[in-house]
Amino acid sequence: MYRHDPKVTVLMPAYNAGKYIGEAIASVLGQSFTDFELLIINDGSTDETADIVRSFDDPRIVLINQENKGIAAALNAGLAKAKAPFVARFDADDICYPNRLKTQYDFITSYPEYSIIGSAADYVDTDGHFIFTHHPAAHLNEEIRELNYSVCPFIHSSVFYKKDVIISNGGYNELAYTYEDHFLWVNILKKEKACNLSQALIKVRLNPESVTIDEKWHSRKFLSIKYSTLRKRSITEAEGQ
């Protein structure tokens, strides 16, 4: 029954993630909360990503292959296919702690006025060794709303949200390359209630091959466009290009 009517969709975009995706999938399948689908959007990978996904024999895994369109387009494709009312975002090189889904599902169903639930995260190196625990800049809804627009309030791979809220706000803007999540939050958090749980529910891998690279490697022009579009909460085709 869970496959046809799951309570949670774990949404995982993947691009050339063959090195780590097996561990990421295993961490989802090992959750204490079991009523989910794991929806993997293979965004035109040229490595063994799809083969590794297919090597898992679990009916909760749904694999969708598409040509490479970028992470925002992959996420939007996943939102359109997700069967559950709640979506747990997750990256293909990260690791879920066993109680991640149960903790966030229990919270959002106990406090239905919340639309978005994030958490702290333990950062690990490429071999999985612990480096540090990162806490988001704010935890309570009131604190999140007071953040400057330039501060991203969530660790994207930790976020658990109501699918309809994201879709009704247009989903991920595909012009906001590498900061599609931050752009989404600045546009919806004034009207949606959100929080970050203080416990680390995932391990985030500091992966130099990740699609999202550290800001210090972006050009000055990119950063200028990014913060300008975040401040005005809109982005033009020209700015996206």
pLDDT tens profile 56-104: 999 999 999 999 999 999 999 999 999 999 999 999 999 999 999 999 9
Look at the alpha carbons of 214, 220, 223, 225 in this order and tell me if their dihedral is positive or negative. Answer: negative
pLDDT at 220: 81
Tell me, what's the pLDDT at 120?
97
pLDDT band for position 225 (cuts 50, 70, 90): confident
Read off the pLDDT band of 210 (50, 70, 90): low
Rounded Cα distance, 106 and 118, in Å: 13
- Which domains are seen in the chain, by residue range? 8-213 (3.90.550.10)
Per-chain mean pLDDT for the chain: 91
Average pLDDT over every residue of 174-181: 87
Backbone angles phi, psi at 171, to 5 degrees: 70, -155
pTM over 0.85: yes
pLDDT of the residue at 1:
38
End-to-end CA distance of the chain: 44
pLDDT given at position 217: 54
pLDDT band at 133 (very low <50, low <70, confident <90, very high): very high
CA–CA dist 22, 74 (Å, integer): 19
pLDDT over 80 at 215, yes or no: no
Q: Is 204 exposed, middle or buried, given 0-12, 13-18 or 19+ CB atoms closer than 10 A?
A: buried
Specify which residues 120 forms β-bridges with: 200
Query: pLDDT tens-digit profile of 102-126?
Result: 999 999 999 999 999 999 999 999 8
> Over 90: is that where the pLDDT of 212 sits?
no
pLDDT at 205: 93
| pLDDT surpassing 90 at residue 211 | no
Model confidence at 239: pLDDT above 90 = no
Q: What is the pLDDT of residue 2?
A: 43
Rounded Cα distance between 120 and 27, Å, is 17
Output 220-227 pairs: Cβ under 8 A, ≥24 positions apart: 226/176, 226/179, 227/149, 227/150
Q: How confident is the model at residue 208 (pLDDT cuts 50, 70, 90)?
A: low
